[in-house]
A = this chain, B = another copy of it.
Amino acid sequence: MTNRVHNFNAGPAVLPLEVLKEVQAELLDYKEEGLSVMEMSHRSSTFSQIINDAKAMVKKLMKVGDEYEVLFLQGGASSQFYMIPLNLCTEGKVANYLNTGAWSTKAIKEAKKIGKEVHVASSSEDKEFTYIPKTFKLSENPAYLHYTSNNTIRGTEFHFIPEVPEDVPLICDMSSNFFSRPMDFSKFDLIYGGAQKNIGPAGATLVVIKRTLLEKMNTGLPTMMDYNSHVAQESLYNTPPCFSIYVIGKVLHWLDENGGLTAIERHNIEKAAYVYDVIDSSDFYIGTVVPEDRSRMNIPFRLPSPELEKKFIAEAAAVGMIGLKGHKSVGGCRASVYNSLPMESAKALAEFMRDFEKNNS
């Protein structure tokens, strides 16, 4: 694989080469069972082992116990935006949100769409979501406080966990920084994320729910939208996204074998620093985020002109660095440097950025 690109995609994103090689080796014949994981019954003992092992790895890496349920659902974070208020906004309760970017805005929109009362407890919309608000004010009777721990498009990240009163469920969309750092996960009542950024291929949504929250949910919901039905059936109410779950399990083992969240956090800090250092030591590259709130996962930056940005992206692609275009809603450039991105890719990008600056300023 000498021709593997440096993959800065925002998601779906780079996966560990070791994991892909294992998947490839097992593709026709999983553990000499004579069939692919894609061809296995989701109720077979072999697949049970695969899904239960993946769930166990989630808990091991998060250091949480049986007070949490682990679900692998479908429909991405976008479906959670709907399921959360549907399940948790019981009579008279108000859905509280911290609005820090496009994804929290969408979460808010879905809660409103189904007629739930919504309170925006704080927002950084006043400065185009370029920072993380440090304070917030809850409504009366909060059903929960929801926030997005890392904002993929804007490149901001919460480097703290918002403090809520004990009786207010804390809910977090961790799609883009899941498993990228140790956190006190016991503070959360519901954590979720699409797999396709930090933990696996698209098509599976990881949901981790505190058991005590399950008792507070609405009943009589459409079965597929009902967390309690998925918990009761251990993610096997219907056929789950088996292959994605299998790959997720391997990615989590890869994380664990490489030192878990403590080690990956060090790795991620170092990796992001390669790129931020170029930005900070240059007047050519302009970071778009308040430095203290910078994401370790997604690094947006601007060049002196849209023409130079276009040239930068094209020349980078020509030397095997892909995914550097900023999200269409904000423009510019963005380097996503998730867990699985090798250190060499970040180094190569930093070097390329320095060379490009030299040749174009």
Contact = CB atoms under 8 A, between A and B. Distances in A.
A344 to B, nearest CB: 14
Given A38-B15, A114-B222, A202 B5 contact: no
A239 B196 contact: yes
A12 B239 contact: yes
A153 interface: no
Nearest to A204: B203
Given A20-B36, A113-B220, A76 B239 contact: yes
B14 A35 contact: yes
A276 B256 CA distance: 51
A33 B39 CA distance: 27
A280 interface: no
A14 B28 CA distance: 11
A11 interface: yes
Interface stretch (A132-140, A182-190, A241-249, A264-272): A241-249
Contact of A29 (B4, B13, B106): B4
A15 B79 CA distance: 29
Copies in the complex: 2
Given A12-B38, A13-B39, A28 B1 contact: yes
Interface in A29-63: 29, 32-36, 38-42, 44
Contacts of A11: 41, 239
B14 A201 contact: no
A23 interface: yes
A223 interface: yes
B203 A243 contact: yes
A198 interface: no
Given A15-B38, A39-B13, A202-B241, A110 B222 contact: yes
A78 B238 contact: yes
A9 interface: yes
Given A74-B203, A201-B243, A20 B28 contact: yes
A38 to B, nearest CB: 4
B3 A15 contact: no
Given A41-B9, A113-B223, A243-B243, A21 B28 contact: yes
Contact of A33 (B5, B238, B242, B244): B5
A240 B204 CA distance: 10
A194 interface: yes
Contacts of A177: none
B202 A239 contact: yes
Nearest to A194: B239
A92 B240 CA distance: 35
A4 B7 CA distance: 35
A203 to B, nearest CB: 3
Given A5-B35, A201-B243, A223-B113, A27 B28 contact: no
Contacts of A303: none
A224 B40 contact: no
A27 B29 contact: no
Interface in A231-287: 237-244, 247
* CB-CB nearest 9 A-B residue pairs: A203-B241, A5-B34, A74-B74, A38-B201, A78-B238, A24-B27, A82-B222, A203-B203, A202-B239
